[in-house]
Amino acid sequence: MILSAARRRLQSRAFADERAPEMIASRSFWADAGRRFLNNRMAVFSVGMLSLLILFSIFGNLFSRWSFEEIDWNVLGRIKEDGGPSLENGHWFGVDELGRDLYARVVQGTRTSLLVGFIAGPVSVMLGAMLGALAGYYGGRLDRTVLAAYTIWLAIPYIIFFVVWQAFFGRSMSQMILVIILVNWTAGLLIVRGQVMMLKNREFVDAARMLGMSDFKIIFRHLAPNVLWVVVIYTSIVIPEVIMMESLVSFLGVGIQEPNTSIGALLSQGASTMTFGTLWQLGFPAAIFVIAQVSLFYIGDGLRDALDPKER
Amino acid sequence: MFNYTLRRLLMVLPTLLILVIFAFYLMRLAPGGPFTSERPLPPAVMANVLERYGMDEPLHVQLWTYVSNILCCFDFGPSFSQKDRTVNDVIAQGFPVTLTYGFWSAVFVLVLGIPLGIIAALRHNGFWDYTMTGLAIFSQIFPNFVLAPLLVLLFTLSWGLLPGGGWNGGQWEYVVMPAIALGTSYMASVARLTRGSMLEVLNSPYIRTARAKGLPERTIIIRHALKPALLPTLTYMGPVFVYMITGSVFVDVFFSTGGIGQDFINGAYSRDYAILLGLAILYAVLTFALTLMVDLLYAWIDPKVRAGLS
Amino acid sequence: MQRRSFFVAALATTFLTTPAFAADVPAGVTLAEDQSFTYRILDEFSSFDPQIVEDTYGSDIVRDLFEGLYNQDADGNIVPGVALSHEASADNLTYTFTLRDNAVWSDGTPVTAGDFVYAWQRAVDPELASPYAWYMELMAIENGAAIVAGEMEPSELGVSAPDDRTLVVNLSKPLPYFTKMVTHATTFPSPKWVIEEHGAQWTRPENMVSNGAFVLEEHVPKERSVRVRNENYWDNENTVLEKVTTLVIGDDAQGLTRWRAGEVDMTDIPAGQYPALAEEFPDEAFALPRLCNYYFNFNLASGPEAFQDVRVRQALALAVDREVIVERVLQGGQFPAFNFTPAATADFEMPDIEMASMTQAERDEKARELLAEAGYGEGGEPLSFKYLYNTNEAHQQVAIVATQMWKQKLGIDVTLENQEWKVFLETRSAQNYDMARGAWCGDYNEASTFLDLLTTESGYNDAKFSNARVDELMAEAKSSSDPQPLYTEVEQIVAAEMPVIPIYHYSTNVMLSDAIQGWPMNNVEQNWYSKDLYRVAD
């Protein structure tokens, strides 16, 4: 009795009218989102900054007088005194502890870190979000299985995981990106699952279901836009984490190999000597990291606003 | 609700079992063992050492012994690297340490991060929003390995206010810097998530309806917006809290707190299988508890979720 | 001079010439009110159990808590500990130690020869399974190896106590440096009654009974351990320090910051910071020679074909500018090395090695010639290989600088490969590399602890170098009364064959507060005893 009454209500004209705005929003969604994003000045500016950073990492070498691996024997051993930034000897950013040109190394490191961060970060979050959405939507046994896998995965000693990986598959950039994704796929899972759990019982989802939409369509057309804000913010949190994780992975022998470097490696080297009077070794890599982070923050924020299905 | 909780709890043991089996074999795949050293042990000595730790048995027998010792006597075995101690000793001594500074760190994160996020959302694109953004970025670009030396330089070396490290049974002056160093970047993430979800909630139809009804803003925020807006943040904090109370290797090493955070890493480097397995189990149990708590929180706050779960 | 006496007066009792060593406070020095010493270590030590401890930090503590037959003085010479003297048989196979009668454990029980017998049997007992059982084998104590292998009972070990004051040790082969080895923690006595009562828990502060100048008061693993004066120690009246605290600080830079803040009296100097600190604190920054060497292994078993050519090995060795590595990269008072055994080793005369007397320009010139002769490098077959090291800042710096030198001087293309520590050890010992770093610290202060590594049978011969003459010479040296000419010949063979490239000999870089005096600066093994230290007033 009650059930059929509910169904009658859900199929009524009045209900469809009432819910229409939410559903329409999700239809003409992407075009609107693009327009809204372009109206956000900070976000557009940040996209510009990030593009500059990418250009820097690709073409920065053209302005370098040194290669990223050659040692300047003239300053080796006198880093603190003679190794600072200088226009004279062509070390724009100074040199590292071994007298290698920091500018060239920062350019090279930025390339590595952007590649790792911008591939491994978003992909991990996407994976986690997808699984989280499915678990939250279907609940029950699937949910419990995903949660069990999640728990196990968080508890696995990941250093051992990297070491085993290195022993079996060796070292390369793509191996590194792959293991980082494998370790991070849990990122965002729980939070998306929670959002979906709340949203799936909202009226507009019920309505879609009653209209005979497939689960797949419901998840991607109606639920996804409503959790995108989480995914976007989470991605901008995970990218810097991944950039730092890269230096650990490389340390364990999976990732890049000296003389190649990365922002994470440069940062930790710089930090280890920060109390010894060679602050430029921390400052320049940190500046790059800041630019990347600030840009990500505003892009993430702009995307969040733009993708909000309730914005008009 | 009771059924739901029960079903989740029933998953604990099978999950732990799978974890133990998986982690056990994974560790044995890693090159080098607990007794691999720069100076290779002569074969006869190595044989004795392996026998003493039961490592001369086939792997599945070792696994069985390990699991049955836990089930029978809650015995997680001896540590390979800290030779005078068992895994139980190591956790009993180090976990209270990380629990203490991790807890205070979490308090620091929530007490600062949530209000920052809320204020920023309420003043969207206003002065406070930009201040919060600045603070959040500031604390995220100071990874703990930069922040911790800075804290010590200021509080210990320059001002002489706090001891540079140690634990001393957990007196407050030994807890302050570890808690801040550990929490700062999470505080930034919490502020960002709270801001995002607050904006989301404030834009939702039912808050608009409430506004249209002319309810005072304060009532709207406290009565209607706050609870749902905090859910994503608390979900985020669940696993982060587990991470915090099990400590971070950096904080443990840098501040010499003696916590178990460093054992996750040192155990891996020294191939201390027993420590690693013990910690993995501890971590899994805590994760289980926290995720369940977060789910119950959802059910408590949102009646529809409650209905969905039952 | 003292060593010779073992052989000249073989049957006569050897009384150690120096008196027992203790804190030697010069007249006119005002001692500080607070006699405490706090020092920093990098990570938690392995154990307090003398027979189990296997790391330097642990051994430093065990040397304070327990006392063996002999101790070392400030120069590393042996001085009486529990034993006053010893007597060696004519064939140098039997040593009879006479123990002092006033040594007691911290619970008041007298220290007897039986405590040593118990401890030594315990060290080789397969049931205890000490990783340091190999040390007893190294000491060549009769039946030691067979007991470790489980073929004999521990009670059959060649050590006995005819009475409480006499300890008799039988060796399976004469060892000229045997008495030097009894200053090592593995040979310290252990209290049977305490171990039997408490089992593995006997090293807890509340259970432990020890016979050294200090007793354990507190131990918080990974944070601190505190030891205080042992009132029952036989030489207690000459102990000055009241309390010694060990703090675990896992970060070098943080260790230095806390040293600056006065929270620790002693800490290691972070890599590369010695010159700056020596300038800032001329009286408190020290670079002390240490019995360790650093070298590159060629994989002679399965490495690149080119490494089979001795000219290639010589060329690579010549082209490494050790001055640059030591003085401009590591900057910690290390010594450029052209031979294997560190010069600081006791009674070791440095051999004449041609390479050592050349200038670097001459070396580079010769390197190019040799490489061209061998048909590699510029104009010849291109040479490239991988250099393997474990991930660590200092190893990485040495690797980068050396490979850049080869690249620039000889046109050789070297790829670096870093691995996590245990993976590295496995890879290297399985000869899965082209060239790999190696380093060794002496087990005792005598050249054979280094040169034995180059014998065919050595477990640490990762280069898989095998030279019949070297094996023969080292076997002969074991029982020779004057092994130096043998060692010189071995070093010369190594310099000619170049299975490994010696890079430098270590130094220890420490900051030690000038309030702490009595540190044994000249002890190259860095074996120090807190009972010799004292704190002066500011």
Question: Once rounded to an integer, what is the mean pLDDT over residues C114-118?
Answer: 95
Cβ contact C465:C459 at 8 Å: no
Question: Once rounded to an integer, what is the mean pLDDT over residues C345-368?
Answer: 90
Q: Comparing C33 with A19, which gets the higher pLDDT? A: C33
**For residue B270, pLDDT beyond 60:** yes
**For residue C300, pLDDT beyond 70:** yes
The pairing of beta strand C266-268 with beta strand C94-99: unpaired
Question: Once rounded to an integer, what is the mean pLDDT over residues C303-309?
Answer: 90
Closest residue in A to B297 (Cα–Cα) = A194
Of the candidates C272, C276, C400, the beta carbon closest to that of A259 is on C400
**Is B51's Cβ below 8 Å from some Cβ in C?**
yes
**Which of A68, A75, A98, A162 is the best mutation test for C, with the most CBs of C within 10 A?**
A98
Share above pLDDT 70 across residues of chain A, in percent, rounded to a whole number: 89
**For residue A27, pLDDT beyond 60:** no
pLDDT of residue A83: 79
Q: Where are the alpha helices (DSSP H) in C202-353?
A: 252-260, 274-280, 310-319, 322-324
Helix B144-151 with A263-272: angle, nearest 10 deg: 10
Q: What is the pLDDT of residues C58-82, one digit of tens each?
A: 999 999 999 999 999 888 888 999 9
**Is B82's Cβ below 8 Å from some Cβ in C?**
yes
Inspect the interface and report whether the beta carbons of C418 and A69 lie closer than 8 Å.
no
Q: What is the pLDDT of residues C429-475, one digit of tens each?
A: 889 999 999 999 888 888 988 999 999 988 888 999 999 999 999 98
pLDDT of residue C297: 93
**What does the CA dihedral A237, A238, A242, A245 come to, rounded to 10 degrees?**
80
Q: What is the pLDDT of residues C387-419, one digit of tens each?
A: 999 988 889 889 999 999 999 899 899 999 888
Question: Once rounded to an integer, what is the mean pLDDT over residues A50-56?
Answer: 91
Q: What is the pLDDT of residues C500-513, one digit of tens each?
A: 999 999 898 999 99
Q: Which of C530, C73, C139, C84 is nearest to C346 (CA)?
A: C73
Give the 3-state secondary structure of residue B166. Answer: coil
Question: Once rounded to an integer, what is the mean pLDDT over residues C124-134?
Answer: 90
Give the 3-state secondary structure of residue A57. Answer: helix
Q: What's the mean pLDDT when you consider all of chain C?
A: 89
Of the candidate ranges A303-307, B296-300, C132-136, C173-177, the one whose mean pLDDT is the lowest: A303-307
**For residue C322, pLDDT beyond 70:** yes
- Half-sphere exposure of B139 toward its Cβ, with a 13 Å CA cutoff? 22
**Is A164's Cβ below 8 Å from some Cβ in C?**
no
Helix (H) or strand (E) holding C49, with range, is: none
Within 10 Å of residue A26's Cβ, how many Cβ atoms?
19
Residues found in chain B: 310
Could you tell me what percentage of chain C is helix, strand and coil, using 3-state DSSP and rounding each to the nearest 5?
35, 20, 45
Of the candidates C52, C129, C257, the beta carbon closest to that of B164 is on C257
**For residue A312, pLDDT beyond 50:** no
**For residue C364, pLDDT beyond 80:** yes
**For residue C30, pLDDT beyond 50:** yes
Question: Once rounded to an integer, what is the mean pLDDT over residues A273-285?
Answer: 84
**For residue A297, pLDDT beyond 50:** yes
Architecture of domain B93-309: Orthogonal Bundle (1.10)
Inspect the interface and report whether the beta carbons of C419 and A166 lie closer than 8 Å.
yes
**For residue A1, pLDDT beyond 50:** no
pLDDT of residue A15: 55
Q: Comparing A225 with A312, which gets the higher pLDDT? A: A225
pLDDT of residue A291: 87
Q: What is the pLDDT of residues A156-178, one digit of tens each?
A: 888 888 888 888 888 888 888 99
Chains that touch A (3 or more CB pairs under 8 A): B, C
Q: Identify all chain C residues contacting B257, using CB atoms and an 8 Å cutoff.
A: 223
**Which of C222, C245, C258, C297 is the best mutation test for B, with the most CBs of B within 10 A?**
C222
Question: Once rounded to an integer, what is the mean pLDDT over residues C104-110?
Answer: 93
**For residue A26, pLDDT beyond 60:** no
Q: How confident is the model at residue B103 (pLDDT cuts 50, 70, 90)?
A: very high
Please give the Cα distance from C190 to C125 (Å, whole number). Answer: 14
Residues of C with CB under 8 A from a CB of A: 253, 256-257, 270, 272-273, 276, 324, 327-329, 331, 391, 393, 396-397, 399-401, 404, 415-420, 422-423
pLDDT of residue C522: 87
pLDDT of residue C436: 94
Q: How confident is the model at residue C229 (pLDDT cuts 50, 70, 90)?
A: very high
Residues 6+ apart with CB under 8 A from A195: A136, A226, A227, A230, B232
Question: Once rounded to an integer, what is the mean pLDDT over residues B194-216?
Answer: 83
**Which of B255, B256, B265 is the best mutation test for C, with the most CBs of C within 10 A?**
B256
Q: Which long-range CB contacts under 8 A does A171-177 form with residues at least 24 apart?
A: A171/A253, A171/A254, A171/A255, A171/A257, A171/C417, A173/A112, A173/A115, A173/A116, A173/A255, A173/A256, A175/A254, A175/A255, A176/A116, A176/A246, A176/A249, A176/A250, A176/A254, A176/A255, A176/A256, A177/A115, A177/A116, A177/A119, A177/A120
Q: Which of A51, A52, A107 is nearest to A260 (CA)?
A: A107
pLDDT of residue A168: 86
The pairing of beta strand C500-512 with beta strand C224-229: unpaired
Chains that touch C (3 or more CB pairs under 8 A): A, B
Of the candidates C257, C401, C418, the beta carbon closest to that of A275 is on C257
Inspect the interface and report whether the beta carbons of B291 and A190 lie closer than 8 Å.
yes
Q: Hunting for tokens 């994974």 — which residue is that? A: B26
Q: How confident is the model at residue C281 (pLDDT cuts 50, 70, 90)?
A: very high
Question: Once rounded to an integer, what is the mean pLDDT over residues B272-282?
Answer: 92
Domain-wise residue ranges, chain B: 19-73, 93-309
Q: What's the mean pLDDT when you consider all of chain B?
A: 87
Q: What is the pLDDT of residues A178-195, one digit of tens each?
A: 999 998 888 889 989 988
**For residue C525, pLDDT beyond 70:** yes
Q: Identify all chain C residues contacting B56, using CB atoms and an 8 Å cutoff.
A: none
Backbone angles phi, psi at C236, to 5 degrees: -55, -35
Please give the Cα distance from B95 to C222 (Å, whole number). Answer: 13
For C165, the token pair is 């004051």
Q: Comparing B232 with A222, which gets the higher pLDDT? A: B232
Inspect the interface and report whether the beta carbons of C276 and A98 lie closer than 8 Å.
no
